[in-house]
Amino acid sequence: MRTDAETLLPLADWLGQHALPVYLGLLATLLASSAACWWLLRRYHVPRAQSRLPPALYLGVRLAAGFGVIVAAAWLFAEVAEKLGTDGSSGAMGRADQALADSLRSHVPLLALQGFALLTRLADTPTVTGVCAVVAVLLVLRGLRWLALGWVLAVAGNGLLNTTLKQIFARVRPVHDDGLVLAQGFSFPSGHSSGSVVMFGMLAYVLCRFVPPRGHLPLVLAAVALAFSVGVSRVFLRVHFASDVLAGFASGTAWLAVCIASIELTRWMYPRPEIYKK
């Protein structure tokens, strides 16, 4: 019977050899899946005013869906953390991480790495801080103070959460000696991955309040593509292991779901359109 290492190590090497086609294939699949989920949501979602359910039950169904996302993301994070082993490298997943990083070093062309080096800047701390401040100011100027507060708490709270998780797991980063991007501190989970999920996800959530419904899906797909690509860029640049990025996606998704559910619950309990703008 094959062990996890015997299965994962050859797969990791193969992924490194075909990294760019795999990335494009995964991105296309993710976008198609997101579009399908959006279509199903729009097809079967019933607006609050038209629902036959009692208001409390209608709210409960929506919150249950959000809670399901949180639980699934938290479970994925826990599974990744468990499979890494106590030191982040002794487990089968940890060895596969290193095998993938070694394979990427040998097979990804410099031009692609330079492109990913530019892309990854979208979730650098100065960029996220600047975007957070600008969006918050614009929302306040439009009189949407509570939405501005929710936006700031989402972005800043994810930064605090990621820093705490890094200190708990204290995983060392992979060696990244190509000079394109330098990163310090612990590696697990990836802050760029979780930060891009929260920032672009919340940005799409906020912008959907100001654009016509036909523009909502393009905003969601753009957020998905950017968040996924920024996270993957960290693997290509070898400043994070693949499992760091996967865990970052999971923690970011869970926190994003918490923040959006909290804002929606507040809107339900205190329906003031002039504050939240439906």
- Per-residue pLDDT tens digits of the chain, which is 278 residues long: 344 656 778 888 888 888 899 999 999 999 999 999 888 777 655 555 445 555 555 566 666 776 778 888 888 888 888 887 655 555 677 888 888 888 888 888 889 989 999 999 999 999 999 999 999 999 999 888 888 999 999 999 999 999 999 888 888 888 766 667 777 778 888 999 999 999 999 999 999 888 888 888 999 999 999 999 999 999 999 888 899 999 999 999 999 998 988 888 777 766 655 444 44
Structurally, the chain folds into a number of domains equal to 1
For residue 237, what is the DSSP state?
A: T
Looking at the chain, list the stretches that DSSP marks H as alpha helix, in order from N- to C-terminal side. Answer: 4-17, 19-44, 55-84, 92-107, 110-119, 125-141, 145-169, 191-207, 216-236, 242-269, 273-276
In this prediction the pTM is: 0.86
Domain ranges, residue 163: 4-276
Measured distance CA(269)–CA(278) in Å, rounded? 14
Measured distance CA(136)–CA(131) in Å, rounded? 8
For residue 173, what is the DSSP state?
A: P
Residue 255 near residue 78, CB atoms below 8 Å: no
Assign residue 58 the CATH number of its domain: 1.20.144
Q: From the centroid of its chain, how far is CA 255?
A: 9
